[in-house]
Amino acid sequence: MENINEYCSDIDELEKKAGEWKGKRMDAPEIEMHGGIVMMKGKESLRDSWQAPRLVAFSNEEARPGYATKKAHEYEDEPHVLKSKVKELARLITASQNLCAYTGAGISTSSGIGDYASKAKETVALQKKRLKNPYLAKPTLAHRVITALYHSGNLKRWVQQNHDGLPQKAGLPQEALNEIHGAWFDPSNPVVPMSGSLRGDLFDDLQKWTKKG
């Protein structure tokens, strides 16, 4: 957490380059836009200062057809809001005793592994060209940062919905990981199809860390 100002300096550079943000603001409950932190007692100042994200990529397609879904628009926080969120996240991580990461497809898109829900033609997601062989994907910066949080003693558990093995490639020990939807590299934990059922012990572990967190 001691390098938080360095990350915020990077956001300052983003703000200089962003110019005037003109996209339509998201119209949604605050808890959907900013997370449960804004609903906590004593966090009224965050609720007042964190503006709604702006639309940066429009899509007429549904993000997840067949499920409770929304249009696959993409939104971004303005840089000063993002900077405030980074600092609040660092504070929460430092104060936490049972920090658990819960990640999905978006964490791996910049490694060249495509995701299911990104449909906007003018996507701003950090995506590389899709790999012909996703088994050869390398960990992203996000995988390495989360792994570093584990080795620093901050992160206690990582529940990952992906099958790609990138946390382990980043140096996370297997015992710290719950591959809840199955794994490409673990024959004892086959990938769970949409119509399948989660492995009982992994689901119990998920519930355990939901309560502990």
- Total-model pTM: 0.85
Q: What is the pLDDT of residues 145-169, one digit of tens each?
A: 999 999 999 999 999 999 999 999 9
What average pLDDT does this structure show over 174-202? 95
Instruction: With a cut of 90, say whether residue 53 has pLDDT above it.
Output: yes
Burial (0-12, 13-18, 19+ Cβ within 10 Å), 161: middle
Q: Answer yes or no: 181 catalytic.
A: yes
Q: Give the range among 1-15, 23-37, 106-120 with minimum mean pLDDT.
A: 1-15
Q: What is the pLDDT of residues 180-191, one digit of tens each?
A: 999 999 999 999
- Tell me the percentage of the chain whose pLDDT exceeds 70: 88
Which pLDDT value is given to residue 23? 85
Instruction: With a cut of 60, say whether residue 17 has pLDDT above it.
Output: no
pLDDT band at 3 (very low <50, low <70, confident <90, very high): low
User: Of 34, 143, 163, 181, which one is the catalytic site residue?
Assistant: 181
Instruction: With a cut of 80, say whether residue 129 has pLDDT above it.
Output: no
SS3 string of the chain?
A: CCCHHHHHHHHHHHHHHHCCCCCCECCCCHHHHHCHHHHCCCCHHHHHHCCCCEEEECCCCECCCCCCCCECCEEECCHHHHHHHHHHHHHHHHHCCCEEEEECHHHCHHHCCCCCCCCCCCCCCCCCCCCCCHHHCCCCHHHHHHHHHHHCCCEEEEEECCCCCHHHHCCCCHHHEEECCCCCCCCCCCCCCCCCCCCHHHHHHHHHHHHHC
pLDDT band at 45 (very low <50, low <70, confident <90, very high): confident
